[in-house]
């Protein structure tokens, strides 16, 4: 990271601290909300699903806002909102306040993700962006590897402690983005004056973006929440103890693989060959899913997980870099906000897999997910045909 400017270095550190803040609460959120509001797990799942759905839709407008104002200040606002939302969550005693605070924290997270990607694109040469995206994702996985363990550890003394600590981390992260030079001059005023409606029309008319986002959504069904459907499958085909043992091994394998290989592989991604890289990543997803369907031991599960993770390592920066090639400089945030709608695929994943596990033989789930991965990869591949590579 030493080769990057102070803004980029601090932004990458913020990416890590914000992920740690979220990860601290991730294993405890459903239990905390359930105890607070006396809800069953189905209702808690519905509550969280609605919050994520609303926040994802709001991220489309968030991308537009990021294009209109100074990105660094908006990231600071997102971090402050996240901190306030986490604190308010500990005081929430009714369904509506809880829903509001969850939407605030989820929207703040989406805004930070979109804004940080836009800042990386704005402040790095074309050739360095794939490395930066890969490094950011590596730090994200480090945060998710460390955060949950820390959250469970501090929850033993006081149930609200993880949320208060997470809020403190988000708050103090603000100071990492203060005291550094402001961004370069903004886009021309005529572009800045473009309304949200006109921006939506611009996005709607970009057939490549729509096709690519549809492909990303299908791909996200496969990799966005893979821990959910793997645990669902294991609970159907084995007992709870075996499920916990396998999932612990798979999560460790996934985290170690991403941390060790993400940046190394990301360095080789080239804008001119993104379609081919996406095909390779999709193929690895399919091989990993087939491996899951055949796995009968911890070792075979971990081998399949490693292959699946290689696909994840390729797809994540390739998708961001592809959108970077599409987006005009003055609409970069809006394009990232539109592509972020693909996150809805992660919300659909447990629903689709739960239905398949109830009504078909268990391994069928993996073959259905393979078909979705193949279709998503095909849409992404087709979307790039004849599209020139922008050098903005």
**Sequence ranges of the chain with CATH classification 1.20.1250.20:** 1-186, 192-392
pLDDT at 135: 83
| Tokens at 187, concatenated | 């886009």
Q: According to the model, what pLDDT value does residue 187 have?
A: 45
pLDDT of residue 191: 46
Q: What is the pTM of this model?
A: 0.77
Structure tokens, 297: 């031991």
| Strand ranges for the chain from DSSP E | none
Confidence of residue 190 (pLDDT cuts 50, 70, 90): very low
Q: How many CB atoms lie within 10 A of CB 34?
A: 15
Mean pLDDT of 95-118: 89
Q: What per-residue confidence (pLDDT) applies to 113?
A: 87
- Between residues 330 and 283, which one has the greater pLDDT? 283
**Percent of the chain clearing pLDDT 70 (strictly above):** 92
Q: Which residue has the tokens 């966005």?
A: 224
pLDDT interval class at 142 (50, 70, 90): confident
Residues above pLDDT 90, as percent of the chain: 26
pLDDT digits (tens, 9 = 90+) for 48-59: 778 888 888 888
Residue 180's pLDDT band, with cuts at 50, 70 and 90, is: low
Given a contact cutoff of 8 angstroms between Cβ atoms, the answer to whether 306 and 292 are in contact is no
Give residue 289's pLDDT band: very low, low, confident or very high (50, 70, 90): very high
Give residue for tokens 């929207």. 107
The answer to whether residue 189 scores a pLDDT higher than 50 is no
Please tell me which residue, 266 or 19, carries the higher pLDDT value.
19
**What pLDDT score was predicted for residue 45?**
67
CA atoms within 13 A on the CB side of 52: 17
Asked if CATH classification 1.20.1250.20 holds for the domain at 192-392, the reply, yes or no, is yes
Q: Which of 21, 116, 132 is nearest to 75 (CA)?
A: 116
For residue 155, what are the contacts with CB-CB under 8 A and spacing of at least 6? 28, 161, 162
pLDDT at residue 352, rounded to an integer: 85
Residue 284 confidence (pLDDT) above 90: yes
Q: Please name the fold of domain 1-186.
A: Growth Hormone; Chain: A; (1.20.1250)
């Amino acid at each position: 990271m030493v080769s990057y400017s102070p803004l980029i270095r601090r932004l990458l550190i913020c990416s890590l601290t914000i992920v740690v803040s979220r990860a601290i609460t991730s294993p405890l959120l459903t239990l905390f909300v359930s105890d607070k509001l006396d809800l069953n797990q189905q209702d808690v799942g519905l509550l969280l699903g609605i919050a994520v759905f609303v926040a994802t839709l709001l991220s489309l407008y968030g991308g537009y806002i990021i294009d209109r104002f100074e990105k660094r200040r908006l990231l600071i606002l997102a971090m402050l909102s996240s901190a306030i939302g986490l604190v308010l969550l500990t005081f929430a005693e009714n369904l509506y306040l809880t829903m509001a605070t969850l939407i605030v924290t989820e929207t703040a997270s989406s805004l930070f993700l979109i804004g940080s990607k836009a800042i990386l694109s704005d402040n790095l040469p074309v050739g360095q962006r794939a490395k930066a995206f890969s490094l950011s994702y590596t730090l994200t996985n480090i945060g998710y590897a460390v955060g949950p363990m820390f959250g469970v550890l501090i929850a033993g003394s006081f149930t609200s402690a993880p949320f208060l600590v997470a809020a403190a981390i988000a708050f103090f992260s603000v100071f990492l983005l203060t005291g550094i030079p402001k961004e370069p001059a903004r886009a021309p005023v005529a572009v800045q004056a473009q309304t949200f409606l006109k921006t939506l029309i611009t996005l709607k008319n970009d057939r490549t973006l729509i096709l690519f986002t549809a492909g990303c959504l299908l791909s996200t069904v496969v990799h966005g929440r893979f821990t959910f459907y793997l645990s669902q499958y294991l609970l159907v085909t084995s007992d709870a103890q075996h499920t916990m043992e396998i999932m612990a091994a798979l999560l460790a394998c996934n985290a170690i693989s991403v941390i060790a290989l993400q940046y190394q592989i990301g360095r080789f991604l080239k804008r001119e060959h993104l379609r081919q890289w996406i095909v390779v990543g999709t193929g690895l997803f399919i091989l990993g899913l087939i491996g899951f369907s055949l796995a009968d031991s911890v070792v075979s599960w971990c081998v399949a997980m490693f292959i699946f993770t290689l696909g994840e390592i390729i797809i994540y920066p390739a998708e961001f870099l592809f959108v970077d090639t599409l987006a005009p400089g003055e609409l970069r945030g809006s394009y990232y906000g539109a592509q972020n709608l693909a996150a809805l695929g992660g919300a659909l994943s447990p629903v689709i897999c739960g239905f398949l596990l109830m009504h078909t033989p268990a391994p069928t789930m993996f073959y259905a997910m393979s078909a979705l991965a193949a279709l998503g990869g095909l849409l992404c591949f087709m979307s790039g045909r004849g599209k020139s590579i922008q050098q903005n």
